[in-house]
Structure 1
């Protein structure tokens, strides 16, 4: 999982109108970023959309990424998750469930359909029944995506354009295979099925908003700098490239190499052009923080937080305050972090910093409790259990923190059972 204030902000701009068009509450649907080069996105665990970094980098326009989000929103709107559980039950095979639980590992192999078919094994009839059902869901979500994009004011052309990208990948990777042993329809079949709908759309020729085109390319440049080796970033964005995107990507790559002053110089033209861009201030603060220049990191991070209010920036500022290590800074960090975990309790980074801040304040029981929260939300039950047991032995019985530790103990046990069952 990756947290980035700018990318989450842009994804929210894309997704909110789609959710509203689908009569879903935007606040009830969460979008998560997964650090993986695979061209993938999926819905899981209720109204939660997971988007892979590789997919974002592969899109050539905002409309293409909106098309993917519209497709996933179509799954949520259609209730496909609950219906998939029914399909599994009807197929009467544990192997299908095993295939679904192994879905991420299969996708990482570069050939998710082949991996899923291998995992299914067993009854060929049950296997084909489920895969046929899955292909029908995907086709339904495709058609829903076209309508959702129109209602949200986007040309549905972006959806079809990105299906073309997926089709090219299928050809390059040799993933065509048997169309009856696939969880998704073939790329060219999906394109043909949607082309007529796009031609009939009154918005088919509407261009993407220029401000979002720029935001999209800036997001991609920054993401490339974070996810690729610096040498690759410098190759894609050489010094001869003086575009804003190149400055952004190179500043991140230079930060990765601990070349702090050079990274700040690369970022300077962007801040001069957009002095109220919170994400430029955030990166400036992060460059100084990761370069060990704590004092210089705090002003830009404060500015970034005041301009955006994003939880991820708040955690970064708290980290800098804790690193400066004064009593006042620690009190300020505690106040910030306690506010963050109230609104964003699934942030392991926030709980980690809160554990440090509580420890420095001498509140050892709370420190251990926060550490347990961090490990639980990172999927590490062994470490979470250790911290929970220590917290229960330290906290005063009958306090809210003690009751929370008991709740966490139960949650850790449930996670252990879940991982064991897999």
Structure 2
């Protein structure tokens, strides 16, 4: 389980606990924050987060799909901006933490916060939410776990409980010679008291994350009702609440309790009349997430069955569009190009002039053209895309490289990377573009930067050294210019590796 591996870090289903960075009070909050600070510095927490994120980047389920990422970032960035405006995100944390979302193909309905401003988002959750507002409520909740320092506070709480646990064990050992039963009771009783204290603290933190997350979400312009409907989905998904379990042994408050609290806040909100809306774009992104999270042959064929069903035309437009997009993408995954193309044509008819949905349909058409090796068609299709999104940029750069226009692709990617130096996929695209225009040292350097972006400094150093060896043997002037950059980056990697060794 993710949360056990991550030392009880904040998740939607099991979460952390402890003292915090004080945040501002709002008129609608009405509750104090839980603590006055954390013993762990932001830099120390970031180092812990880096180590965990490094492993997540290596996980086979890690996914950086530009289409889904663009959509999630369109929700994420307004939430971060709102947290800044409300004073929930101090400048120190803003600068020290990563604020990165790592997506995974896992079908479970979950999201979680990691130390240092890293966040995990399962595609199962993206696939089940029915609006941007519901997804915003989850992300706002997780942002609040980090801005309120719940993770470091929880770790401090656990450390503070260690003497109590040790005392219980010592008392148990002293009693063992006289009464083994009493010894066992002393040990178990001490452990139970510590666990109960931790769970109670975690429930308080969940309530605080709900309260602050609600304010962040509404400040960012999302419908507050999204919090309520999201909790209802979690309740349906987990099937745990009100089923005979003991609520006081849960680290989170009951969903029914949280739903009631959010309903009360919605009624008091100035935007109470705003209801979540399922857009065509959201339906398409959710379908894409479901295909990625379950790409088994049987699951992919289910999409075809649903798209061919006679009842499809009777369903709401958003359901039709989502189903057709999922079916077309599933057919593409199976390399059934005629079926994928035919389903895409039906999708485009229903999308009409809806700009966000039309963009996603065109990106899917580009995917199909490239999968079939039809670069000229891909070039023609790409001319209709000029939205400046990351997905469009990466797609057009790939097309330019395949079409023999690597120089143009390299320039575009270098401009992007100047503002987004941690974009591993863009670095990989730049490596391909540089290789296509006979700049081997720059290509290997870009491959090394992929490792840097994913926090694999040892792998990066290996590639930088390979680039150094290549530059020494080269007679090209451009390679010697690139070599000076490589030398500097190699020294930086050596310094980072020494720091990691000291931490260990």
TM-score range (shorter-chain normalised) is: 0.7 to 0.9
- What residue number does 2:327 align with? 250
- What residue number does 2:317 align with? none
2:253 corresponds to 1:159: no
- TM-score, normalised via structure 2 length: 0.66
Instruction: State which drifts further: 183-192 or 393-402.
Output: 393-402
- Residues 375-397 of structure 1 deviation map (CA, whole Å, 9 limit, x = unaligned): 34346566434313312334459
- What residue number does 1:183 align with? 251
Q: Give, in whole Å, the separation in 1 of the partners of 2:250 and 2:326.
A: 37
**1:208 alignment partner, SS class:** coil
Q: Give, in whole Å, the separation in 2 of the partners of 1:297 and 1:154.
A: 36
Q: Give, in whole Å, the separation in 2 of the partners of 1:414 and 1:35.
A: 32
Name which of 105, 114, 128 aligns with 1:44.
114
Residue 89 of structure 1 and its aligned partner are, at CA, apart by 4.3
Counterpart contact for 1:3–1:312, Cα < 8 Å: no
Pairwise mapping of residues 3-402 of structure 1 onto structure 2 (< 5 A)?
3-24=64-85, 29-92=99-162, 124-171=192-239, 177=245, 179-209=247-277, 213-229=279-295, 230-240=300-310, 241=312, 243-271=320-348, 273-274=352-353, 277-304=358-385, 306=386, 308-324=387-403, 326=404, 329-378=405-454, 383-395=459-471, 399-402=484-487
Structure 2: tracts of 5 or more residues without a match: 1-61, 166-189, 314-319, 472-479
Counterpart contact for 2:199–2:251, Cα < 8 Å: yes
In structure 2, relative to structure 1, the CA distance for the partners of 1:356 and 1:340 (3 Å cut) is same
Residue 310 of structure 1 and its aligned partner are, at CA, apart by 1.7
Counterpart contact for 1:59–1:162, Cα < 8 Å: yes
Q: Give, in whole Å, the separation in 1 of the partners of 2:241 and 2:274.
A: 33
Counterpart contact for 1:135–1:185, Cα < 8 Å: yes
Q: Give, in whole Å, the separation in 1 of the partners of 2:272 and 2:488.
A: 56
Instruction: State which drifts further: 164-173 or 134-143.
Output: 164-173
In structure 2, relative to structure 1, the CA distance for the partners of 1:190 and 1:275 (3 Å cut) is closer
Counterpart contact for 1:146–1:198, Cα < 8 Å: no
Residue 255 of structure 1 and its aligned partner are, at CA, apart by 1.0
Would you say how many aligned residue pairs link Structure 1 and Structure 2? 385
Q: Give, in whole Å, the separation in 2 of the partners of 1:20 and 1:341.
A: 22
In structure 2, relative to structure 1, the CA distance for the partners of 1:372 and 1:150 (3 Å cut) is closer
Counterpart contact for 1:392–1:406, Cα < 8 Å: no
In structure 2, relative to structure 1, the CA distance for the partners of 1:371 and 1:154 (3 Å cut) is closer
In structure 2, relative to structure 1, the CA distance for the partners of 1:300 and 1:174 (3 Å cut) is farther
Residue 202 of structure 1 and its aligned partner are, at CA, apart by 4.8
- What residue number does 1:404 align with? 489
In structure 2, relative to structure 1, the CA distance for the partners of 1:386 and 1:302 (3 Å cut) is farther
In structure 2, relative to structure 1, the CA distance for the partners of 1:68 and 1:126 (3 Å cut) is same
In structure 2, relative to structure 1, the CA distance for the partners of 1:387 and 1:128 (3 Å cut) is farther
**2:421 alignment partner, SS class:** coil
Residue 225 of structure 1 and its aligned partner are, at CA, apart by 3.4
In structure 2, relative to structure 1, the CA distance for the partners of 1:381 and 1:400 (3 Å cut) is closer
Instruction: State which drifts further: 20-29 or 334-343.
Output: 20-29
- TM-score, normalised via structure 1 length: 0.77
In structure 2, relative to structure 1, the CA distance for the partners of 1:344 and 1:150 (3 Å cut) is closer
Q: Give, in whole Å, the separation in 2 of the partners of 1:278 and 1:317.
A: 14
Across the aligned residues of Structure 1 and Structure 2, the Cα RMSD in angstroms comes to 3.5
- What residue number does 1:104 align with? none
Structure 1: tracts of 5 or more residues without a match: 96-121
In structure 2, relative to structure 1, the CA distance for the partners of 1:15 and 1:384 (3 Å cut) is closer
Residue 271 of structure 1 and its aligned partner are, at CA, apart by 4.3
Counterpart contact for 2:124–2:289, Cα < 8 Å: no
Q: Give, in whole Å, the separation in 1 of the partners of 2:457 and 2:242.
A: 39
Residue 16 of structure 1 and its aligned partner are, at CA, apart by 4.3
- Residues 97-155 of structure 1 deviation map (CA, whole Å, 9 limit, x = unaligned): xxxxxxxxxxxxxxxxxxxxxxxxx9555544443332211111112233334444444
